[in-house]
Structure 1
Amino acid sequence: MKHSEKVEDPGSAVMSRRTLVGAMGAVTAAAAAAPAFAQAQPGPVAPPSTITTPPRDFSPRGAPTTYFTDPDVLSVDPLFNQYAQPNSAIQRLWTGALWMEGPAWNAQGRYLVWSDIPNNRQMRWIEDDGHVSVFRMPSNNSNGNTFDFQGRQLSCEHLTRRVVRYELDGSVTVLADSYNGKRLNSPNDVVPHPDGSYWFTDPPYGGQLYEGAPDAAGGPSNAGGRLKPRLGQAAEIGSAKRELPTSCYRIDPSGRVDLVVPEDQVPDPNGLCFSPDYKKLYVVSTGKGPGDTGPGGKGDVHVFDVGTDNKLSNRKLFSDCMVDGVKCGPDGLRCDVDGNVWMASNAGRAVGYSGVTVWTPEGKLIGRIRIPEICGNVCFGGPKRNRLFMAGSQSLYAVYVNTQGAAPG
């Protein structure tokens, strides 16, 4: 062996030129094979949302939300930041309905009840273990539900065209099924007042096969008489015809039913709620319903002053529900303790705009919550009433917020 030669010892710090060149080649090849984002990261990756491809998976199998605030809880105005709860993710609690409506929170029982209208049932989600089961079936195609100040459930029934109250002993009281001797259309939503009265809307949406029963032959929703409203129904169903315009009513504690909002003020009234001080009433006007002969509602929200005599006055357009040029059709709505209005949004195929819109008492949009389905109604619940429940078309969603609902149910 010549003195000029060296033995390459793997443990030695000495490395030959050949070994060094080989090692550099391996590093270059690895870098070429690495993903582009590993070589250069020009900026943070955008958070997933309902408009990503593929869409975000809201189910328990989906990836967790790793951001400080949920990427689908959007602050349109900085004012909304105080109402969005940091580190709270939107959750899909259940899916399997055909069209969901009327979520309502039972504070004493700590459960949520809602309507699955086409399936003719009410469902219940129990807080302690998230169990979901059929609560009431048949439900007479119930739509809106709530609980009054005594903890009794109120329901609006499409099929029987009435508003009922489920008493604490399990019996059922019919609160209203007619006005001035004429049958109601299909009560949609109902809210209690501290004076013991109940206020409800009566559009015609239950007068169709999917969500109730059409009119008897010759009625507005079955003018040609081709539909058979008695098919699949109990013996007493199928003889009613639409007799009244679309209106809002008040059920007095005495049982008297009074007209409070006529059709010419708010056509096709749908969701409604009081302000926290009960001095204002918000009423949603939705689109043209079955049997309507006029243009129907425009998908907007109106607000009235409520007088001490229970008379409404000073009607104003609260919102036309246009957001970024997209019609976020309103449905159900609730107020928080600061008077903000949390409103269900049905934006149709405008993905990313369905869910919930949040407005100040002055009608300014401050926030949005996006879910991957159109939303029919909302309510505040949970033991602290700080969890927003959202009835999507087929699924139940929830997210904690940094405020409380103003009213029970």
Structure 2
Amino acid sequence: MTRQQCDSEQRDPDTTLSRRSLVHGLAIAAGATMAGAGAALAQNAPAAPPTTITTPPRDFGPNGAPTTYFWDPDIIAVDPSFENLAQPNTAIKRLHTGLLWAEGPAWSGQGRYLLWSDIPNNRQMRWTEDDGRVSVFRMPSNNSNGNSFDFQGRQLSCEHLTRRVTRYEHDGTATVLADSYQGKKLNSPNDVVAHPDGSYWFTDPPYGGQLYEGEPDGPGGPSNAGGKLNPRIGQPAGFVPGKRELPTNCYRIDPSGRVDLVVTEDQVPDPNGLCFSQDFKKLYVVSTGKGPGDTGAGGKGDIHVFDVGSDNKLSNQKLFTDCMIDGVKCGPDGVRCDVNGNVWSSSNAGRAVGYSGVTVWSPEGKLLGRIRLPEVCGNVCFGGPKRNRLFMAASQSLYAVYTATQGAGPG
């Protein structure tokens, strides 16, 4: 046999099994074997539901696989009583993404929309309940952070850039509610809540004194001591940068316009989120981490609670929770109460995957449950036509989930 005949015979598909055919056949056989093993395994145990801690992670978006389990796998009941607060046949949904840092969600009951802040982008966003459309609500927003609505349905905003608390009236005008205390400029108001007596209570930490979420102090100020940063870059002509002049306190704006100090930095350093209990007899104040320009140790990432007297004086301060769960610091930020007095707090656990999202606490400070998100969560609020939907502003995205309870208070 000649070499040419030999080569021809070796390439004849009818008489010779090529290497490619061999590999292909082995792959089919292996696949069939694995499929059979998988089918057998599925008969012995249920498939594991996808969660935020699976690899690859669960897709929370509108195009993700549906959650068909009778408890969303990322809604965790730590205490059996949480089953009376969570809705079993609903799923966590990502409503929008593409933000830089989402904060300050607030629900307009009459407008039936949710607004929130995208702080670094200097804008407020709006999600409408009827069609799920997301649009820019206000731009520029003066790097607004926390938002809320008062008992008359007027929007309240805490502005980092202008270091003030603003109310938007029904006729479209804006009223500055507070920008100073005892003649000194505020730091960067963070969160605000309304009281039935017509007053507004807000926190004033220093987090807006940085380039990303506002503007640093003018040269020589605590957040720009070396004077190397130019806070006028990117701002309109005539912008005058301020300097930090006050400790990190909490204040009450009286209906008369007077601003009163209600919680000092010594009591709660770096105050962040705050909310009233459902009966307005308690005030919860979150203490977050050390902020720009802080000279002290800063906050410890915990939640404090005060009794609210009929004279609007606070007393009987207690540590509500240190927000340590399974040895993980679930750093709190924004908080809301439900009608039963439970506290729903955002959780920023950093790189501790599975612990960022929302933590839920009883009025006594007992952990009831958790909601896991794939992003750190900055703030929360209740909304929807029945106020039974929890909206979560989490880093670059907005999430929502229905609950079996309702939020207390407006906004």
Report the TM-score when normalising by structure 2. 0.91
Task: Select 1:130's aligned residue among 117, 126, 132.
Answer: 132
What does residue range 244-255 of structure 1 map to in structure 2 within 5 Å?
A: 244-255=246-257
- Cα offset, 1:32, TM superposition: 4.0
Pair 1:35 & 2:47 matched: no
1:81 match: secondary structure: helix
Q: Deviations over 1:338-387 (max 9, x none)?
A: 00000000000001100000000000001000111000000000010000
Change (3 A) 1:35 1:97: same
Matched with 1:259 is 261
Matched with 1:275 is 277
Matched with 1:68 is 70
Identity of aligned residues (%): 81
Matched with 2:406 is 404
1:248 match: secondary structure: strand
- Greater Rg over alpha carbons, structure: 1
- Cα offset, 1:279, TM superposition: 0.5
Matched with 2:48 is 46
In structure 2, distance between residues paired with 1:108 and 1:195: 21
Pair 1:87 & 2:89 matched: yes
Matched with 2:17 is none
CA contact (8 A) 1:249 1:258 kept: yes
Pair 1:287 & 2:289 matched: yes
Matched with 2:351 is 349
Matched with 2:57 is 55
In structure 2, distance between residues paired with 1:379 and 1:33: 47
1:329 match: secondary structure: coil
CA contact (8 A) 1:213 1:238 kept: no
Q: Deviations over 1:244-274 (max 9, x none)?
A: 0000000000000000000000000000000
Q: Deviations over 1:301-355 (max 9, x none)?
A: 0000001110000000000000110000000000000000000000000011000
Change (3 A) 1:144 1:30: closer
> In structure 1, what residue type is equivalent to 2:239?
I
In structure 2, distance between residues paired with 1:218 and 1:356: 38
Task: Select 2:316's aligned residue among 310, 314, 317.
Answer: 314
In structure 2, distance between residues paired with 1:355 and 1:34: 36
- Cα offset, 1:69, TM superposition: 1.3
Task: Select 1:230's aligned residue among 232, 235, 244.
Answer: 232
What does residue range 7-406 of structure 1 map to in structure 2 within 5 Å?
A: 32=33, 34-40=35-41, 41-406=43-408
1:118 match: secondary structure: helix
> In structure 2, what residue type is equivalent to 1:205?
Y
In structure 2, distance between residues paired with 1:33 and 1:258: 70
Segments of structure 2 that go 5 or more residues without pairing to the other structure are 1-28
2:82 match: secondary structure: helix
- Cα offset, 1:30, TM superposition: 10
CA contact (8 A) 1:95 1:395 kept: yes
- Cα offset, 1:238, TM superposition: 3.9
CA contact (8 A) 1:214 1:238 kept: no
Q: Deviations over 1:171-203 (max 9, x none)?
A: 000000000000000000000000000000000
CA contact (8 A) 1:31 1:39 kept: no
- Cα offset, 1:31, TM superposition: 7.0
- CA-atom RMSD in angstroms: 1.3
> In structure 2, what residue type is equivalent to 1:50?
T
- Cα offset, 1:29, TM superposition: 10
Q: Deviations over 1:212-252 (max 9, x none)?
A: 00000000000000000110112343431000000000000
- Cα offset, 1:147, TM superposition: 0.3
> In structure 1, what residue type is equivalent to 2:37?
A
Matched with 1:10 is none
2:83 match: secondary structure: helix
Report the TM-score when normalising by structure 1. 0.92
In structure 2, distance between residues paired with 1:150 and 1:112: 17
> In structure 1, what residue type is equivalent to 2:40?
Q
Change (3 A) 1:31 1:164: closer
CA contact (8 A) 1:215 1:238 kept: no
Segments of structure 1 that go 5 or more residues without pairing to the other structure are 1-27
**Greater displacement, 241-250 / 31-40:** 31-40
Q: Deviations over 1:132-180 (max 9, x none)?
A: 0000000000000000000000000000000000000000000000000
In structure 1, distance between residues paired with 2:314 and 2:396: 35
In structure 1, distance between residues paired with 2:224 and 2:347: 29
Change (3 A) 1:181 1:339: same
In structure 1, distance between residues paired with 2:282 and 2:121: 34
In structure 2, distance between residues paired with 1:29 and 1:80: 46
> In structure 2, what residue type is equivalent to 1:320?
D
- Cα offset, 1:126, TM superposition: 0.4
> In structure 2, what residue type is equivalent to 1:378?
V
